[in-house]
Copies of this chain bind each other. A is one copy, B any other.
Amino acid sequence: MSQQFVSVEESLKKHLPEEDRKEVFRILYGRELPELDLTIGAANPLNLELKGYSFSAELEGLRPPRRVRVGLIQNSIVLPTTDPIAAQRDALLSKIGQIIGIAHLNGVNIICMQEAWNMPFAFCTREKHPWCEFAESAENGPTTVFLQELAKRYNMVIVSSILERDEDHGDTIWNTCVVISNSGKVMGKSRKNHIPRVGDFNESTYYMEGNLGHPVFETQFGKIAINICYGRHHPQNWMMYGINGAEIVFNPSATVGGLSEPMWSIEARNAAIANSYFTCAINRVGTEVFPNEFSSADGRPAHRDFGHFYGSSYVAAPDGSRTPGLSRVNDGLLVAELDLNLCRQVKDKWGFRMTQRLDLYSRSLERAIQPDFKPQIVRENMTHQN
C-alpha cells in the first residue's frame, strides 16, 4: 500500500483514453456530475485541495428545487502529539476555522468534519492519559463554543464529531457528534452506535455504544443525520436514519489503508442507494505518531504510528452516482450541491421503501434475538424425495 498514490480517479483520468474513460467512469461512478466553480480566496496557506460537484434532480411541478451545498473536510493534525493538549486542540480549531471560512466563500450550508477532528486519533495507544483530556462537553465545551460563533457568522449548520465528556452521567466518555444550527444554537447530539474492536481501533476501551437512538435533525437546509465511522459497516444503522427521515447522512470517520480501503468506496455508497438519501463519507488523512510505542496484536514489533489515514472523502447520491474522492494524501474540502428533491424522486422510481417489508424483518429479528433461536436451515435428510 502506497502513501504516495494520490487517488484512483486521478490515475484513471490521466491514463485512460477518452472513449474508455467515459465508460469506466459511467460504470464506476454513475452519471457525470458537473464541476462547481469554486474559489479558495485570496491565498491558500493551507495547501488545501478544493473540489466541487453538483447533483441535479428533475424539475417538479409542485416543489421548487431544494438545492443545498454540503462541505466535507478531511485534514491532518497540526502539532506533534507530544505538544501540550491545549495547544494541539487550539491549532486544529484554528486550521478548521480557516477551512470553514473557505467553505463559506463557496456557499456551503452544512459542513461536517472528520471523526474526533479536534484531536489526534489516539485510541490505538490504549493510554487514558493524556488523551482523555480531549473529551469535553457537547453542549458548552470549548470546541462547541468556537463553532457556534462560526455557525452564526456564516449562517451554516456545523456537524462536529468530538470525544464527549458527560459530566451528568458519571464523567463518562462518548463518541459524539454535535449538531450546531445556523442560528448558532446547539440543536442536539448523536452518539456512535457501533464501537469497533478491530486492529488498533481500541475504542471500546474508552466508550460504550451510543444510547441516543437514530436522531434526525431537521435543519433549515434539510433533514440530516450522522452515522459515525464504524457504524457504516452496519446496514441497519444506516436504515434507521432513513426510516427517521434523513435526506443527508454524514459519516465522519478515521480509518487506515491496511485495514479498510477496499471497503471505503462501497459502504456509504450502498447506504445511499438502499435508503434513497445522500451520504457524505469523510476520512482523516495523514500519519499520526504517538509518544510511546504500542503493539498491534498482529505479530509486528511495537511501533508509534497508527498507519496511513487515506482520506478519499466522497459524496454518494440515492441514484447510485458519486463524486470522485478527495486525495489520499492531502487536506481537502469537498463541496457538493445536492438537490434534495432527488431523494423522493428515487423513492418513486425504484420503490425501495415501498418494497422494504419492514414487518417481515421486525418479526424475523424478534425471533433471531431469542437465546433459543433456531436458524432456518434446510438439510437433505428433511427433504422431499424424488
**Given the interface contacts A148-B386, A369-B362, does A265 sit within 8 Å of B28 by beta carbon?**
yes
A267 close to chain B: CB less than 8 A? yes
Residues of chain A touching chain B, judged by Cβ–Cβ distance below 8 Å, are 1-2, 5, 8, 11-12, 15-17, 20, 23-24, 26-31, 139-140, 148, 179, 181, 183-188, 193-198, 209, 213-219, 223, 230, 233-236, 238-240, 243-245, 260-263, 265-267, 269-270, 273-274, 320-321, 349-352, 354-362, 364-366, 368-369, 375-380, 383-386
**Given the interface contacts A5-B23, A184-B386, does A215 sit within 8 Å of B376 by beta carbon?**
yes
Asked whether, in the complex, the Cβ of B197 is within 8 Å of the Cβ of A351, the reply is yes
Q: Which of A266, A267, A274, A351 has the most CB of B within 10 A?
A: A266
Asked whether, in the complex, the Cβ of B358 is within 8 Å of the Cβ of A139, the reply is no
Asked whether, in the complex, the Cβ of B355 is within 8 Å of the Cβ of A194, the reply is yes
Q: Which of B181, B356, B364 contacts A380 (CB 8 A)?
A: B181
Total copies of the chain: 2
Report how far A8 CA is from B275 CA in the complex, Å: 27
Asked whether, in the complex, the Cβ of A375 is within 8 Å of the Cβ of B262, the reply is no
Q: Within 8 Å CB of A195, what residues of B?
A: 355
Closest residue to A23 on the B side, CB-wise? Answer: B5
Asked whether, in the complex, the Cβ of A26 is within 8 Å of the Cβ of B11, the reply is no
Q: Within 8 Å CB of A379, what residues of B?
A: 218
Q: Within 8 Å CB of A369, what residues of B?
A: 358-359, 362
Report how far A209 CA is from B5 CA in the complex, Å: 47
Report how far A314 CA is from B167 CA in the complex, Å: 51
Asked whether, in the complex, the Cβ of A235 is within 8 Å of the Cβ of B244, the reply is no
Asked whether, in the complex, the Cβ of A320 is within 8 Å of the Cβ of B15, the reply is no
Q: Which of B196, B223, B349 contacts A377 (CB 8 A)?
A: B223
Q: Within 8 Å CB of A184, what residues of B?
A: 386
